[in-house]
Structure 1
Amino acid sequence: MTANNDTSSLSIYLLAGVATTTCSFNECRKKLDKLFRDDGIEPQIHVLFPYGDASRNVVRQVLEVRSDLSNRMTAGRIGGQRALHTIKQNKNNKRMLLIGHSGGGAAAYQAAKMMEEYGEDNDIRIVQVGSPKTPIDPRLQERVSYFHSVDGMGKLNDPISRIGSWGGWSAAGRAMPKWNRLKYAPGYVEGIPTVGGHADYFRHTKPYTDEQSICNLDKTIDSVRGWLKGWL
């Protein structure tokens, strides 16, 4: 299928993490479709389960997510490979937005990184929501954003977001190398004051609303769109 270069068209992939039900992205998909169409952009939205859905063995899913948390060429990248296979089957736009929740964020990045390694000419952005920390290749850092839940004091309160590392050793000239905990971090990181826990970023009904009656889904999508401003 020939890639579409029309800037009014955009392929969006929503990638689920471990033990996710098949209906988890329903409201998110509807909201994204409406918002982008209101902006004059025709979205083609696909929901992917790179590790399987809630009916699959959870232990196997967790082990597969681990294969996507490394930036090494020899890493298994199981979820990333599955996501990439589906993306290639549906690919009809060079402009792509990959939004991954939890382990799905790792799979989204790995799929995008493999496309970059294969020399594919794509205008792509990756959004990780409540994901484990995956080291991001410096060539892709500015294309990757990372959103995590915070409490009323602005402190991280999603335990999954504590998994993994963005750190690496940095040295300048003859100075002793120093550990830089953000060396391989995404280009943009933001905390979202959501209600609930790790599984609730895309909830849209009570009790997942704050005192202003703003739901988690609206907060998450508004944060993502804020980062995308200027690209769309």
Structure 2
Amino acid sequence: MTTAPNRLLHIYLLAGVKTTLSAFFECRKKLENLFAQDGRQTTIHVLFPYGDYTRNLWRQLWEVRSDFNSWLLPWRIGGRAAAEAIRTSRAEGQVLIIGHSGGGVAAYQAVRMLQRQGALENTDIRIVQIGSPKIPIEPLLRERVAYFHAVDDSGRLSDPISRIGSWGGWSAGKRSLPRWNQRKYAPGFVKGIPVIGGHANYFRHTAPYVDAQSICNLDKTIDGIRSWLKGW
């Protein structure tokens, strides 16, 4: 994570559905410490684009679904809420948005909205989706988006939420015949993380979410993000 010193970095942690208020507490501390070691000044915001654990689950799921399609529709819920929070709190500097589950969907849609509004001109921005449903990524944003999902000991996908949605699209095949490309609109970086316990546990840092090498889920998740951000 080597970067130019003293450059302000705005970090936004976006929660999915039914998330407790303390879910990102340890993640926030670790990110602050890691960037401080690189001489970076950070401001970290925790956002709940679909509300927290006290809201009705089915209502939250419906709101996540409103952010799925590719059109920038005015009734988007999480994307619009996240875009407004980012627009009103961001000053000069780089922007890193990390979204878990539905929060990863809201993160991507928020950036699309802010770009259309001209609110991100000359802004170096990165999006991290963790255990999120798959949504098509625009080619112009592809290299700015990383996607992480849980895998088991054999490397197979173990997070059921990551099976939802699609990155697929039709591409020209041999003799110009169309063929279905499952990764046509995939993020530029996709990586599996061997987390213990699956979807809800990417940010766990205590037993039983620690492996035989004494590495916790949170460290695995943060290390994945660091590997992608290296040199940024």
TM-score, with structure 1 as normaliser: 0.94
Shift of the alpha carbon at 1:71?
A: 1.3
In the superposition, relative to structure 1, how do residues 74 and 173 fare at CA in structure 2: closer, same or farther (>3 Å)?
farther
1:115 & 1:39 partners in 2: Cα distance? 28
Query: What SS does structure 2 have at the residue aligned with 1:139?
Result: helix
Task: Tell me how far apart the structure 1 counterparts of residues 174 and 159 of structure 2 sit (CA, whole Å).
Answer: 38
Give the aligned residue type for 1:118: Q
Structure 1 position 198 matched with structure 2 position 199? yes
Q: In the alignment, is the contact (CA less than 8 A) between 2:8 and 2:93 conserved in 1? A: no
**Do residues 179 (structure 1) and 170 (structure 2) align?**
no
* Superposed displacement of residue 76, structure 1: 3.5
Partner of 1:33: 32
Map of 2:151 onto structure 1 = 150
Question: Are residues 54 and 226 of structure 1, via their aligned partners in 2, closer, same or farther at CA, if it must alter by over 3 Å?
Answer: same
- Within 2, Cα distance between the matches of 1:94 and 1:183? 31
Distance 2:88 2:124 in 1: 17
1:91 & 1:157 partners in 2: Cα distance? Answer: 35
Q: Helix, strand or coil for the counterpart of 1:169? A: strand
Q: Is the 8 A contact 1:200 1:216 kept in 2?
A: yes
The 8 Å contact of residues 67 and 75 in structure 1, kept in 2 or not, is answered as: no
Moved more, 170-179 or 11-20: 170-179
1:8 corresponds in structure 2 to 7
TM-score (norm 2): 0.94
* Letter aligned with residue 107 of structure 2: A
Distance in 2 of aligned mates of 1:226 and 1:150 = 17
1:166 aligns to 2:167 (yes or no): yes
Q: Is the 8 A contact 1:94 1:124 kept in 2?
A: no
SS in 1 for 2:128: strand
Unaligned segments of structure 2, at least 5 residues? none
SS of the equivalent of 1:11 reads: strand
Instruction: Provide closer, same or farther for how the CA distance between residues 9 and 94 of structure 1 changes in structure 2, counting only shifts above 3 A.
Output: closer
The answer to whether the 8 Å contact 2:17/2:50 transfers is yes
Give the distance between the partners of 1:75 and 1:147, measured in 2 at CA: 28
Retained in 2: the 8 A contact 1:170–1:179? Answer: yes
Say how many residue pairs are matched: 226
With over 3 angstroms needed to count, the CA separation of the structure-2 counterparts of 1:181 and 1:48, relative to structure 1, is same
- Residue 150 of structure 1 contacts residue 158 of structure 1 at CA under 8 Å; is this kept in 2? yes
1:20 to 2:34 alignment: no
SS of equivalent residue, structure 2 residue 79: helix
| Contact preservation (8 Å) 1:166, 1:184 | yes
Could you tell me how far 1:173 is from its partner in structure 2?
8.7
What is the correspondence of 1:101-116 to structure 2 with a 5 Å cutoff? Answer: 101-116=100-115
> Deviating runs (4+, > 3 A) in structure 1?
none
Give the structure 2 partner of residue 88 of structure 1: 87
Shift of 1:174: 5.6
Q: What is the identity, as a one-letter code, of the residue corresponding to 2:195? A: T
Tell me the equivalent position of 1:79.
Answer: 78
For the aligned residues, what is the CA RMSD? 1.4
